[in-house]
Chain A
Amino acid sequence: MADVIEVGAARGDAPPPAAKARRRGASAGRTGRATPYLFLAPYLVLFGVFGLLPIILGLWLSVHQWDFQLPNRPFIGLDNYKDLFSSDSAIYGDWWESVRATAIFTVLSVPLLVVVPLGLALLLNRSFPGRTFFRAIYFAPYVLGVAVIGLLWRFLLDANLGLVNRLAGAVGLPADTPWVTAMPWAWISLVGVTVWWTSGFNAVIYLAGLQDISPELYEAARMDGASAWQRFRNVTLPGLRPVLLFVITTTVLASANMFGQSFLITQGTPGTETRTVVWFIVEEGLRDNDAGRAAAMSIVFALMLAVVSIANFRLFRYKED
């Protein structure tokens, strides 16, 4: 793998980095000024072409009425943006309903998706016979694609025919809960399925993070007579802080990007109450061929997410640097 990295870094039209570093850095690890940029270069090439350029194109699309093949793709200024905020446009109602749906799902799912996997990771980080087996099981649902888990749960959660209601009936609970077609059940189902499906993902990240915490710290705490809770508060949590910031940030974004689950399981019902922003964007952009409007929605949505995430970063910042 090292070879690959060297080749990758050297692609930036610079002298072989190692050689250069050696020449300059005769004394204690001083490296050339270019070195950080050489480290960044391979990724930045990718990022420029497939990360930034699409966004710039997206901005360009958003001020046009844009379709792959329509004869006219007129420049329409900020009309696509205005439509999102003026109550007499065709999409105003749908758009804000989808924002609301996304916000509800994010607020309900993120706390669970941050806490439950942490619990799983702590459990699985212990040493006991069979832990590989349990790790695999908890991770297993995430191995499946959303198309499969969507169909699976749609069948299991069916109000009249599904197994979940059958089991509920067997233990004396109501057997006619409308899991996917009425509120608040639709949200409960979507959040529940998502926690079931993706907890393994965050748990694995936590597990990796837990490896960075020195066992000596735990030992020292134990010697000081710290309880399990105190060890968690004073050793585990501070040690996990950068990872926790990562998990919270990416989980907020992942939840805000939810699409497949409601598309397949609730199909947006009741009405369009569970249709999320990303679903709506995909529908506008790919099905209704209005790439400009879809781009405008993405940008407004990204700004909303940025506000949330910046607040999130602020919370963590003072500890990090």
Chain B
Amino acid sequence: MIQNDMSRRRLLGLGLGLGAAASLTLAGCGSDDSSSGPAAGNGGKEYTGPKVDLKLWNGFTGGDGDIFKALVNQFNTEHKNIAVSVATYQWEDYYNKLPGAASSGNGPDIAVMHMDQLATFAARGVITELDDVAKNLELAEGDFAPTVWKGGIYNNKRYGIPLDMHPLGFYYNKAVMQKAGLDPNKPPTTKDDYVAALVELKKAGVQGFWVSPFQFTGGMTFYSLLNQWGATLFDADVAKATFNSDPAVEACTWLVDMIKQGYSPANVGQDADYLAFKSGKNAFTWNGIWQINDLKKSPEVQWGVAPLPQIGSKPAAWANSHNFTIVKQRANDANKVSGAKVFINWLSEHSLDWAKGGQVPARKAVREGAEFKALPEISSLAPELEYAAFPPAAPGLGEVMTTFYNSFNEAALGKKSPKQALDDGVAKANKQLEDNRKKYGS
């Protein structure tokens, strides 16, 4: 009985969801958005309906969350007829609970989501298409970095409006470099420089580059290197895994050899690479852009950040992006959708403040403004946007990525040779991709 009801409700939800997407076209005239400054009280200019309450969910815990909430408060004071309330959950819990919440009518109106989750949630009908939002707001690829903009598309339809992008960056400890006789203002940018620096550091008794076997950060480092070597994780249709190709194995071998050659200790624990970096036990760490603000909390650490050195044949860096999505509702409310649209556009324009939270804004105008350039560390990673390697848009990719990271783990811990680990991983990943195809259709 419960089951029947559930599926009826789901069908209803689906129907209404499509209705909601269609109704987006009704709410017009968002084109004059460049002038919608902080002039208090004219919020009704874009949304003129009765007051709507919008629920927004995100995973911005801690300091990020405070910045985000401040932005939302600013939005609320500027828009008298739209009230956005924010609920925050830890990302992992967030993705677990969102489907149940949405299907039971307890979900949010707006959900912030990582780019690599969009396809999954789109295929499952949790979130609605936003092509008309993009069109009405006259947002186009030119306003964003192409890599980020395209990532919001699944099955030729747009599901996410990008807020930011967060790549992997190269952090160097200036004090440790100096101790080893290296120029702290010239971080290595090529393979030869990089290895030479590690040799010098080793002579000074420092294992310069700790290779973590975990996704954070060893797995992401390998992901970047694999792309630098010109390999890919999957083929173009994301039908087959390709992360055991020869260049991929080479990239993995290079990284694992860091341990064999003594530039990294074995058995690096979760977070140990970063804690060791902060306390001067190593010199280099490849870590997310989010650590910039964290390092600023430790004034005694002398550090710098730069784009990842190019170890392989081309530059590449792991990256992900936060996107706004609109969640399908049981009951259609065109006013809510219009309000949500106004909010998404407003926040996208105000993403400079969000950049201060430690992310590169997705919006080009913001990224190229003087104010963003005045954030030296964060803007120094903006060039990576051109060659950032975002995860492909395919539903159910989460478990396949876990398989990828687990095979690197086996290689990094010396459980298997890089080739063996990646071969085994690809065999399993292909089966998972096959299952996904059956499940989500294509």
Contacts and interface: CB of A to CB of B under 8 A. Distances in A.
B386 interface: no
Contact of A158 (B100, B123, B125, B269): B269
Interface in A64-121: 65, 67-73, 88-90, 93-94
B333 interface: no
B3 A89 contact: no
B267 A289 contact: no
A70 B435 CA distance: 14
A69 B428 contact: no
B124 interface: yes
B95 interface: yes
A182 B410 CA distance: 10
Interface string A36-76: 00000000000000000000010010000101111111000
A161 B276 contact: yes
Is the interface on chain A under 10, 10 to 19, 20 to 34, or 35 or more residues? 35 or more
Given A68-B99, A69-B99, A286-B96, A180 B269 contact: yes
A162 interface: yes
A159 B410 CA distance: 17
A68 B100 contact: yes
Contacts of A69: 10, 13, 99, 102-103, 124-126
A65 B435 CA distance: 11
A160 B265 contact: yes
A31 interface: no
A57 B6 CA distance: 12
A90 B432 contact: yes
A94 B410 CA distance: 14
A159 B396 CA distance: 34
A154 B272 CA distance: 10
Nearest to B97: A286
Contacts of B2: 57
B396 A288 contact: yes
Interface string B8-41: 0010011000000000000000000000000000
Contacts of A154: 269-270
Nearest to B3: A60
A182 B406 contact: no
Contacts of B10: 68-69
Contacts, number: 110
B428 A93 contact: yes
A185 to B, nearest CB: 9
Interface stretch (A122-130, A137-145, A263-271): A263-271
Most buried by B among A159, A161, A283, A290: A161
Which secondary structure characterizes the binding site on chain A?
A: loop
B399 interface: yes
B269 A162 contact: yes
A290 B435 CA distance: 11
B415 A270 contact: yes
Contacts of B102: 68-69
Contacts of A93: 428
A178 interface: yes
A202 interface: no
A160 B272 contact: yes
A91 to B, nearest CB: 8
B398 A161 contact: no
Nearest to A271: B410
A133 to B, nearest CB: 35
A178 B269 CA distance: 9
A189 to B, nearest CB: 12
Contacts of A286: 96
B170 interface: no
A234 interface: no
Interface in B190-218: 210, 213-214
B413 interface: yes
B431 interface: yes
Interface in B88-126: 92, 95-96, 99-100, 102-103, 120, 123-126
Contacts of B399: 283, 287-288
Interface in A262-306: 267-272, 283, 286-290
B413 A181 contact: yes
Contacts of A68: 10, 99-100, 102-103, 124
B297 to A, nearest CB: 19
Contacts of A73: 7
A88 B270 CA distance: 33
B270 A90 contact: no
B266 interface: yes
Contacts of A157: 269
Nearest to B123: A70
B409 interface: yes
Contacts of B269: 154, 157-162, 180-181
B99 A182 contact: no
A160 B126 contact: no
Contact of A270 (B123, B410, B431): B410
A37 B3 CA distance: 31
A287 B3 CA distance: 21
Contacts of B331: none
A89 B413 CA distance: 26
A161 B272 contact: yes
B54 interface: no
Nearest to A70: B124
30 contacts: A57-B3, A65-B439, A67-B99, A68-B99, A68-B103, A69-B10, A69-B124, A69-B125, A69-B126, A70-B124, A70-B125, A70-B440, A90-B431, A154-B269, A159-B266, A159-B267, A159-B268, A160-B210, A161-B269, A161-B272, A162-B269, A176-B267, A181-B413, A182-B267, A182-B413, A269-B214, A271-B410, A271-B413, A283-B399, A289-B99
Given A69-B103, A160-B268, 15 more contacts: A57-B3, A68-B103, A69-B99, A88-B431, A90-B428, A159-B269, A160-B269, A161-B269, A161-B272, A161-B281, A267-B270, A269-B413, A271-B410, A283-B399, A289-B396
